[in-house]
């Protein structure tokens, strides 16, 4: 049953968003917040499947995605949401929607790199792919205590086989869906980075 295929749901949702970005021939077309935040919410169970090492990421990510889903009921596009925060001068304040968007984007990026590293190796262990993805995305922003806790949690990661079982995928289908997500999310992440940079907000905070 499709509802039991979280990986397929994630890759399809991000494919749809990547297509909507690709089809934007007019510069006035913007990224709709509701489908974007819904796609992000589909990624949440994946952090859960990774266990204790990514508990911090799961809690942080879920809370911030929930904020974006809630916001999408009153604000229609990602661009308008950012403009409101800029106008209210609260972009960098804790809890601002734009700040939450930046954190959510990092979560998406970490999953993208995790999948990329899984696809590049034959090994059944997730320790290497997960450590690399964490090091590339989150580590620069985390204090020593969190980095230490994550490093310890890496030993409790499921094997690739166990992860695929939790996601109801076999090796072949999982590779396809992971590759689809890697490709589609890369486009979405670049798009969001450009939104920050074009407004001179920076992305390293």
Q: Please choose, from the candidates 114, 83, 94, the residue with its C-alpha nearest in 3D space to the C-alpha of residue 179.
A: 114
Number of helices (H), then strands (E), belonging to the chain: the values are 9, 0
* Structure tokens given for 34: 């509701």
Contact indicator for 157, 126 with CB cutoff of 8 Å: yes
Q: Which residue ranges form the domains of the chain, and what is each CATH number?
A: 2-198 (1.10.3520.10)
Give, as one character, the DSSP assignment of residue 54.
G
Q: Please choose, from the candidates 34, 26, 29, 104, the residue with its C-alpha nearest in 3D space to the C-alpha of residue 75.
A: 34
Q: Is 14 exposed, middle or buried (0-12, 13-18, 19+ CB in 10 A)?
A: buried
Q: What's the whole-model pTM score? A: 0.94
Cα–Cα dist 127/97, whole Å: 32
Task: Say what the pLDDT of residue 1 is.
Answer: 36
- Classified as helix, coil or strand, 93 is coil
Per-residue pLDDT of the chain (205 residues; tens, 9 = 90+): 345 899 999 999 999 999 999 876 666 679 999 999 999 999 999 999 998 888 888 899 999 999 999 999 999 999 999 999 999 999 999 999 999 999 999 999 999 999 999 999 999 999 999 999 999 999 999 999 989 999 999 999 999 999 999 999 999 999 999 999 999 999 999 999 999 999 999 999 9
């Amino acid at each position: 049953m499709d509802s039991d295929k979280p990986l397929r749901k994630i890759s399809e949702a991000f494919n749809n968003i990547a297509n909507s970005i690709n089809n934007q021939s007019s510069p006035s077309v913007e990224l709709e917040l509701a489908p974007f935040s819904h796609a992000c919410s589909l990624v949440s169970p994946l952090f859960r499947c990774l266990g204790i090492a990514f508990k911090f990421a799961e809690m942080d990510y879920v809370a911030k995605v929930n904020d974006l889903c809630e916001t999408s009921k009153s604000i229609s596009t990602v661009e308008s949401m950012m403009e409101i925060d800029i106008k209210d001068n609260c972009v960098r304040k804790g809890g601002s929607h734009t700040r939450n968007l930046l954190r959510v984007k990092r979560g998406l990026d970490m999953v993208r790199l995790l999948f990329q590293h899984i696809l590049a190796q034959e090994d059944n262990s997730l320790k290497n792919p997960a450590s690399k993805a964490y090091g590339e995305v989150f580590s620069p922003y985390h204090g020593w205590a969190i980095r230490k806790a994550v490093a310890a949690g890496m030993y409790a990661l499921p094997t690739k086989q166990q992860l695929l079982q939790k996601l109801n995928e076999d090796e072949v289908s999982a590779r396809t869906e992971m590759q689809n997500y890697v490709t589609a999310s890369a486009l979405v992440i670049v798009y969001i980075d450009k939104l920050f940079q074009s407004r001179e907000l920076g992305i390293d905070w």
